[in-house]
Structure 1
Amino acid sequence: MNDRLNTRRLLQRKNMMLDSYDCELCILQRTESLRHLFFTCNFAKRCWQSIEISFPTHLQPLQVVIRIKRRTMKPFFMEIIILMTWCIWMQRNEWLFNGKDPSVQNYKDHIKQEFAMVIHRAKGDLKQKLQQWLEELS
């Protein structure tokens, strides 16, 4: 939220020289900023849509979080947001550093694995709600 993740835009602001500062996950040739990478990139939008979450792309990241909170009405909305963005970041890194093509299916598999770990640590009623949400993803 504070734009401290080493996206290409942040590296550019820190005067790091790269061949390109464009997003590698989409064909829009937009600068890879935090907002673009996680919310407006075509790949990110498809990932969010794959779990039936959508929002207007003109919103700022904090506004997106508020919108997701209102729309999901889940007590664990923040876990969803954190894991969603983490898995998008990991898909990006798998592509950049290992040459593994990003796909929504790989993304969904990864989010399910990560969410299963959250469920493993959860207790009581929350654990049941998390499990139910994960089953709805399938």
Structure 2
Amino acid sequence: MRGARRHWQISAVWMLGTGFRLGIWLLLTSDFSRFNLLAGLALALLLPRSKVSVEDPSLLLGSLWRVLRAVPSAYGEALLLIVRPHRSERLVIMPGSGSRSALVMFLEVFHITLTPLTIALGRLSDGSYLVHRLERGAPR
């Protein structure tokens, strides 16, 4: 039973990685034609895989879900920033999952960057992130 679960985890991570690569291809080319989908899928399958494994696929799925939820609010905040500039800046520490997986870390940084008015400056030794945040109000 344990071997079947491990096989499922490897398959899920492999499919998510392939889907992620195909998604990046489609974002870069902005072409959803049948030929481009097939070319992107072939490229996603042929690119070499990372040797790093994900300890827990739920971390990967959770990070991916947070990124997908952040996209619409990022567009709204971009428009708000144009209309009403934010003048106050702060450095804050945001908790991370603590995972050593490169893909999970990438998705966490991507989520922070898509979170309105924030950008990740670096990862701290405890797995949390140093984040620059813009806020409304007078400069400090």
* TM-score normalised according to structure 1 size: 0.25
Larger radius of gyration: 2
**Larger % of strand: which?**
2
**Larger % of helix: which?**
1
* TM-score normalised according to structure 2 size: 0.25
Q: Which has the higher contact order (CA 8 A, sep 6+)?
A: 2
